Amino acid sequence: MNSGATERWVVNASPVILLAKAGVIHLLPGLCAQLVVPTGVVAEVAQGRQADAGRTWLENAGRAFLRNVPVLHSALADWNGGAGEAEVISWALQNPGFVAVLDDRAARSLATRHGVPVIGSLRVIVRAKELGFIPTARPALEKLRGAGGYVSDSLIERAIALAGES
């Protein structure tokens, strides 16, 4: 399943949606040693269009990675963001060793304050390139931006450079 990857990831809605639109969601399980998608994330993705690629993935191959988060960690008591972010951070806090895959700035900040390692959709694409799942990162990164990801040109360029491309 993991092609040498050792990290365990818990993934939020935005990365599911964006990575699906970038055409790389199917690679997600092979990029980490263990993949978890909290059920609260499914509800957020389901709010999108019926034909959304992330929603389709969650209804099919992604189902294997769904997990319940029965109780939110106390660190989320004052969280005013989405349920998906709360469940992702809670899972990581309750299951040490997980990396939270989050794009939302406030959620990333909260996770980091509580010692949860964080990566975003851009880094997932770079990881796919590093592990040889895709020959180049640039096309997927460009699709991610075109898919509605609020990503600056400078961040895209930094990710392309991190992937060893120019």
Burial of 33 (0-12, 13-18, 19+ CB in 10 A): middle
User: What average pLDDT score do residues 105-119 get?
Assistant: 96
**pLDDT for residue 118:** 97
**pLDDT for residue 50:** 58
Homologous superfamily, domain 8-125: 5'-nuclease (3.40.50.1010)
SS3 33: coil
Model confidence at 2, pLDDT cuts 50, 70, 90, reads very low
pTM (2 decimals)? 0.92
Average pLDDT, the chain: 90
User: What average pLDDT score do residues 42-54 get?
Assistant: 80
Model confidence at 1, pLDDT cuts 50, 70, 90, reads very low
